[in-house]
Amino acid sequence: MSTTNDDAIRVVLGNLEYSGIDPGGSDGRWHLAMDVLAGLRPYILLSQGEPVAV
């Protein structure tokens, strides 16, 4: 994933239900979400639901 090098402010809204852990106990979705966030490098992260440390 590429990142941008401009003067824009990047804002991300995320909703990781159950902290990204699926009913089977896998946390693969959480790791995928963290990889996406790392690529986006947002200045502001808005999250719904339970607090998630980033």
pLDDT of the residue at 18:
59
Supply the DSSP string of the chain, one letter for each residue: -----SSPPPEEEE--GGGG--TTS--HHHHHHHHHHHHH--SEEEE-SS----
Number of domains in the chain: 1
Question: Tens of pLDDT along 1-54?
Answer: 566 566 789 898 877 665 677 888 898 888 888 898 899 899 998 877 666 566
pLDDT of the residue at 54:
64
* Torsional class of 18: left (φ above 0), alpha (ψ -120 to 50), beta (otherwise): left
pTM of the model: 0.59
